[in-house]
A and B are shown apart, each in its own frame.
Chain A
Amino acid sequence: MEKKLYSITAIYSYPNDIIRAAKTVRDAGYKKFDVHTPYPIHGLDGAMGLKETKLGFVTLAAAIVGAAGMISFASWVAVVDYPQVIGGKPYWSWPAFVPVTYEIAVLLAVLGTVGAMIAFFFKFPNISHPLHDTPYMKKVSADKFGVSIQADDEQFDEKKVRELLKSAGGEVEAVYYSEEFLTFKPQTFDPKFIVLLAGIALATSAGGYLYFNKVLYLPPFDWMMMQPKVNPQTMSEFYADGFGMRLPVAGTVARGFIPYPYALGAKADSVGKFLVNPLLPTKTTLDLGKKKYFTYCSPCHGNFGNGDSRMNGQFPNPPTLHSDKVRTWPDGAIFHTITVGQNVMPSYQYQISREERWAIVNYIRTLQRAYNAKESDLQ
C-alpha cells in the first residue's frame, strides 16, 4: 500500500499557545489548515480567520417553511377539505392553529439546522478521514490542541511548514494515508450484497406478516373485538326469544323518524290529496331530485321518464311517467307510490329520504312539463 502525506500536524498544550499558533499559520498565508481542540476555544474562530457561520439562515428558512406550511395545511383541512363546526367557532379559527404551527416551525427549524449542519457543513457521516485513528487525533480528543496544515495547500512545503509549526512551540508530526483506503467504494451491486438485501426484505415481510396478522391475534389478545355487547343479526341469550335485535317498544318513535301513515294497500289517488309537497321547485331541490331520479328511478322509467329503459321487454314494461294519469295525479300520489311501491315496483322509503322523494316529485313535474311544453314556456 502506498502511503501519501496528508498533512503536517503539531500538538500544543495550552489554549494560549493554540491561539498563537493558529494566528501564525493564518498570517503565513495557509488556506487549507485546521485546528483541532477537545472543546471549543473562545477566540479561535477569529484567530483562524473564519467567517461568521451561515447556519442561522438555514434555521430561518426552515422555520418559515414549517410555520407557513403548517398553518396552510391546518387551514386547508379545516376550511376546504374537511370542514367541521367545532365548539361553535368559525371554520378558520386561527388562534387554535397557533400551537401546532409553532410546534412544526420549531421541529423543522431544529431538524433543518442540525441536518444541514451534519450533512452539508460537516459532510458527515464520514468515518474514514486520514486523521482518524492517528496518535494526533487521540491527543486532540483528550486534552491537547493541534494544528494540521494539509499537503494540498497551494504554498505547502514540508520543510517550511515543519519549521513554522515548531517555531510556534509545537510537537510536529506528519500524518500519512493510503489512497486505497480513502477511495474505497462500497459495492452496491455485488451479488452477495443483493442476496443479503433480498433475504432481509423477505424476512422482514414474512416476520411483519406473521406478527401483524397472527402473533398479535393469538389468544388472549383479541384487541377488544370480542365485546360483551349485542351485534346486529346475532342471537342473545339474555332475551327469552333468543333474538338479539329488538323491536321498538310499543308506542315509541325513533329519533328523527316520522312514521308514514298509509299502507301498501292504499290507492295512490285517494291518499295523494292528503299529502302536500313541502318543497318549492327551486334549483337546489331540482338538482337533488335529478340526482336521485337518475340513481333510483331511471333504471326502469328511463332517463326522461318515458319508460324506455333496457328493462323494456324483459319484464312487465315499466310505465311512462308522461301518461295523463300520472300528469293529473296530485304530487302526493307520486310521493305515495315511491314510498310504498305499486305492482312490481318495490317500496323506496328506506333508500330515499322523505325530502329526497319530494325532490324527485318536483323533478318528475319538470320532465312532464318539458314534454308538454306550451308556447308560453319558451319565452
Chain B
Amino acid sequence: MSSTVLDYTKEIPVIEGLPTAAALDETIVKPINDFPQRRWFIGLAITGTMLMIGVVSLSWLLWKGVGVWGINQPVAWGFDVVNFVFWVGIGHAGTLISAILFLLRQKWRTGIARFAEAMTLFAVLCAVQFVIFHTGRPWLAMAWLFPYPNQHGVWVNFTSPLEWDVFAVNTYFIVSAVFWYLGLIPDFATLRDRATTTIKKVTFSILSLGWRFSNRHWQHYERAYLIMAGFATPLVLSVHTIVSFDFAVSIIPGWHTTIFPPYFVAGAIFSGFAMVQNVLIITRKAFKFEHLITMDTIEKMNKIILVTGTIVGYAYIMEFFIAWYSGNATELFVFVNRAFGPYWWAYWTMMTCNLFTPQLFWSKRIRTSLLASFILAIFVNIGMWFERFVIIVTSLHRDFLPSSWGMFVPTMWDFGMLIGSFGLFFTLVLLFVKFLPAIAMAEIKAVIPGAQPTHHGNGASH
C-alpha cells in the first residue's frame, strides 16, 4: 500500500499501477513464450527427484502389497488416509477462490483464481492416488468403486460413506476441471491470436474451440460461469463434508461427533489457502507479477487463513468441551489421550501450527510481510497434516478393549509416498506455470481501472 491511511470511500484497486490491457497480456504470456529460466529447471529437478522417490515407493508397494506400510490392527488407516484427506483439503482452496469468492464479488480473487484452480486439480490427483492404492489391489478398484452392471449381479453399497467419497471426489474433479477449462477458453483464444509458431497456433486453436469473443457468447458464458459458481460452492462444502462422514458416521470415539462436517470444511479451506499462499508468493516473485497479485491480495488471504484457523480452533475446543459435557467416559478418554497420551507431540504440533501461530496474523505487520506469510503458511500445512494424523491415528490406536491397543509407526515407504505426492504436485505446478497462462487474462482485463463503462444515468443499459 502506498498510502498508510485507508480511505473507505474508495475501492481498493485489484491491481497496482495503470497497465493497459495489452501490457497485461504481455506480462502474463511472457513465461509461456520465453525459454524457461535456469531456476525453473532447478525447481523441476528437485520436484522430479521427489516424484521419483514416490514412483519407487509405489513400485515397491505394488510388488509387496500394503504390508510395506506401517498400518496394522487396530490402526488400519495410516498415512494413506492421512495423505488423502490432506490433499483433498488442499484441493478445496481453488474452487473456493474461483466460486465462493466470485459469488461474494471479491474482485481480488481475479489474480489468483487461475492457478488456485489448477492447484485444486493437482491436489485432487495427489489425493486420489492414495485412496486407490490403499484399496490394496488398485487394478481391481474399478470394480469395487463404480456401480456398473456386472456378471456377478453385485452392486456397490450406496449407504457406505466410502462410496459417497467416490462420487464426491470424482464429481469434484470433473466439475473443477470443467470450471478451469471454461475459464481458459478465452485465454486460449488470445494465445491463439498471439501465437508465433504453427504448433502453438494449431494447439491453441483447437483448445479455444473457436472462441470469437462475441458478446452473444459472453452473455451465455457469464451466466454459465455464475451457475457453475453457484453449484461449485455447495460442491466444495459437500466434498469435505463427505470426507468427514467417512469418520463421523462410525461409532469410534473421536470420530463420531456432529461438528465434523463444517469443521473439516473449514480445515480444508485453511490448509488450501495456506498452500495457495505458498505457491503464490513464489510465482509472484519468479514471474514479476507483483502488480497483478498485490500485497492487498496476500493480506486478504492471510485474513482468511486467520478466520478459518480460528474456526478450526473453535471446533477443537467445542469437541473437547462436549467430550467432557457428554459424561461419556470413552469419549473423554480419547480426547485426554490425544493431548497427553503417546501421541501428545502430534496433538501439540497440530494445536501450535493451526491455532496458535496463525493468531500472529492479527498483526498487520506480519500479515503484510512476505516472509512471515510464507513461513506461517508452511506452518499451517504442517499443522493440518498433523490434524489428520491426530484424528485418524490417535482415535484408532486405543481400541475399545485394552487388549486391542496398539501403536502406529510409519515406515520409510510411508514417507516415500508422502514425498512423492509433493513431488507430483509441484512438478505439475511447475509445468502449469510454464505452459498455460497462470493468471486469467480475460478476467483481469475486466477489472483494471477504466475497463468498464461509466454508465451511471444511462438507464437503457439494463
Question: Which residues on A are within 8 Å of B, measured CB to CB?
Answer: 14-16, 18-19, 22-23, 34-48, 50, 53, 55-56, 59, 73-74, 77-78, 81-82, 84, 86-87, 89, 93, 96-97, 99-100, 102-104, 106-107, 109-111, 113-114, 117-118, 121-122, 124-129, 131-132, 137-138, 140-143, 216, 220-221, 223-224
Contact = CB atoms under 8 A, between A and B. Distances in A.
B interface majority secondary structure = helix
Contacts of B462: 43, 46
B193 A124 contact: no
Contacts of B209: 118, 122, 124-127
6 contacts: A15-B452, A38-B190, A97-B158, A99-B167, A124-B209, A127-B210
Contact of A35 (B136, B205, B215): B215
The CB with the most chain A CB atoms within 10 A, among B175, B214, B460, is that of: B214
Contact of A19 (B161, B194, B231, B461): B461
Interface in B285-334: none
Given A48-B215, A138-B193, A86 B22 contact: no
Interface string B165-196: 00110010011001100100010011011100
A42 B238 contact: no
B154 interface: yes
Given A36-B215, A109-B231, A224-B137, A41 B159 contact: no
Contacts of A122: 209, 217, 220
Given A34-B216, A110-B231, A102 B445 contact: no
A221 B222 CA distance: 50
Contacts of A137: 193, 212-213
A82 B220 contact: no
A350 to B, nearest CB: 24
Contacts of A104: 167, 171
A110 B174 CA distance: 9
A15 B228 CA distance: 27
Contacts of A56: 223, 227
A19 B158 CA distance: 53
Contact of B167 (A45, A96, A103, A124): A103
Interface of B: 20-22, 25, 62-63, 65, 136-137, 139, 147, 153-161, 163-164, 167-168, 171, 174-175, 178-179, 182, 186, 189-190, 192-194, 205-206, 208-224, 227-228, 231-232, 234-235, 238, 242, 245, 442-443, 445-446, 450-455, 458, 460-462
Contacts of B194: 138, 141-142
Please list the 3 inter-chain residue pairs (A to B) with the smallest Cβ-Cβ separation, ordered nearest first.
Answer: A143-B21, A43-B461, A96-B159
A312 B145 CA distance: 53
A37 B218 contact: yes
B267 to A, nearest CB: 19
A107 B168 CA distance: 9
A109 B22 CA distance: 36
Contacts of B215: 22, 34-37, 40-41, 44-45, 48, 50
The CB with the most chain B CB atoms within 10 A, among A14, A43, A100, is that of: A100
Contact of A42 (B155, B212, B455): B455
A138 B160 CA distance: 53
A211 to B, nearest CB: 12
Contacts of B245: 99
B219 A50 contact: yes
Given A96-B158, A106-B234, A106-B235, A113 B213 contact: no
A143 to B, nearest CB: 3
B442 A39 contact: yes
Nearest to B460: A46
Given A86-B157, A142-B190, A39 B453 contact: no
A53 B219 contact: yes
Contacts of A34: 214-216
